[in-house]
């Protein structure tokens, strides 16, 4: 696998968005599955579960589903990325998190669809440029603004929390990635120019991201006792030299869902490692230990769901 293709399939939705070889997406099947998830009998059961157990339930449904880079887009009528707005047969790391989050805070099909768009897009406005591509400066702040998630990294780490500073250059990223963002074949050159025109006003943005270092987690594993019952883990990177390839530096390379079970924090995520290109689960501390020697792996940023929270 050459370097460009390797980065195409990294577990991060904002890199190159090529798709894996899977069966053609079936919207009718996805709609039927969604209807089953929110059947009256299932909703009656869901309403009795805590957010922790809804996150565990919904993420568990997708264990073993294949990894698919750039799994979602703006729907079949989009002029740019016409991948579906939601699906349940395959995921990349971010679309798994978005899907589970939207499912866990919804109790009907319309609520899920509205919540999914609200999580993925600024002001819920579906569009390629309004999509929350960048985790630290788009996705996290949007989820916090909506009241769906809260960054609790500093509360967990207290005086031992680290801060990662990274310049996110969106305009340069769009310039580099525009050709690969367009999945429709008609009038491609004009569409590339449209994306560049819409994003030329963007200025580089400094991200200041709280994280728990891998060293801290290894030295003080009891920190997991301070974790909330359920939330999102962002895998942070430092000295990650990807700007030449994708147009910007990045501070987050991967996302996953977590929940507490029997005193452990279980991490469920869409993996693209050669040995496991599907949705997997692993105790969080085991994940940290297994990736400890990765020189760019810095640690984790932690977001929490709020108990009793609903947004729709």
What average pLDDT does range 159-171 have in this prediction? Answer: 97
Query: 0.85 cut: is pTM over it?
Result: yes
Answer whether residue 11 shows pLDDT above 60.
no
Predicted pLDDT at 21: 41
**Please, which pLDDT band fits residue 23 given cuts at 50, 70 and 90?**
low
What average pLDDT does range 68-79 have in this prediction? Answer: 94
Answer whether residue 12 shows pLDDT above 60.
no
- The 10s digit of each residue's pLDDT in 236-245 is 999 998 999 9
d(CA 54, CA 180): 35
DSSP letter (8 states) at residue 77: T
Q: Which two three-digit tokens encode residue 74?
A: 């703006």
Residue 205, H or E segment: strand 205-213
**Residue 274: is it exposed, middle or buried by C-beta count within 10 angstroms (0-12/13-18/19+)?**
exposed
Q: How many residues does the chain have?
A: 312
**What is the distance, to the nearest Å, from the Cα of residue 87 to the centroid of all Cα atoms in its chain?**
14
What average pLDDT does range 301-312 have in this prediction? Answer: 75
What average pLDDT does range 126-141 have in this prediction? Answer: 97
Residue 178, H or E segment: helix 170-181
Predicted pLDDT at 3: 28
| C-alpha pair distances (Å), 228 with each of 48, 263, 286 | 19, 11, 18
**Please, which pLDDT band fits residue 15 given cuts at 50, 70 and 90?**
very low
Other CB atoms closer than 10 Å to residue 131's CB: what's the count?
21
According to DSSP, the β-strands at 205-213 and 279-283 are unpaired
């Amino acid at each position: 696998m050459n370097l460009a293709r390797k980065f195409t399939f990294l577990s991060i939705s904002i890199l190159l968005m090529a798709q894996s070889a899977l069966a053609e997406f079936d919207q009718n099947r996805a709609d039927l599955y969604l209807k089953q998830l929110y059947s009256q009998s299932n909703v009656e059961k869901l309403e009795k579960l805590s957010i922790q157990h809804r996150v565990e339930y919904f993420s568990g449904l997708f264990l073993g589903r294949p990894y698919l880079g750039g799994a979602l887009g703006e729907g079949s009528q989009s002029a740019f990325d016409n991948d579906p707005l939601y699906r349940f047969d395959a995921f990349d790391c971010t679309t798994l998190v978005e899907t589970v989050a939207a499912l866990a805070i919804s109790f009907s099909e319309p609520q899920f669809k509205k919540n999914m768009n609200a999580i993925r897009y600024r002001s819920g406005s579906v569009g390629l440029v309004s999509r929350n591509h960048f985790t630290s400066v788009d996705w996290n702040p949007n989820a916090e603004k909506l009241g769906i998630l809260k960054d609790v990294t500093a509360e967990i780490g207290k005086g031992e929390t680290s801060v990662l500073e990274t310049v996110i250059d969106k305009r340069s990223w769009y310039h580099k990635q525009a050709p690969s963002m367009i999945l429709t074949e008609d009038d491609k050159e004009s569409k590339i120019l449209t994306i560049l025109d819409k994003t030329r006003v963007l200025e580089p943005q400094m991200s200041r991201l709280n994280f728990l270092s891998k060293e801290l987690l290894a030295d003080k594993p009891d920190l997991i006792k301070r974790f909330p019952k359920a939330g999102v883990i962002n895998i942070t990177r430092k000295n990650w030299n990807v700007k030449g390839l994708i147009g910007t530096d990045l501070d987050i390379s991967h996302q996953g869902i977590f929940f507490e079970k029997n005193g452990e924090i279980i991490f469920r995520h869409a993996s693209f490692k050669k040995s496991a290109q599907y949705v997997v689960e692993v105790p969080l501390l085991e994940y940290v230990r297994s990736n400890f020697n990765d020189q760019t792996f810095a640690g984790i940023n932690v977001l929490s769901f709020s108990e009793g929270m609903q947004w729709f």
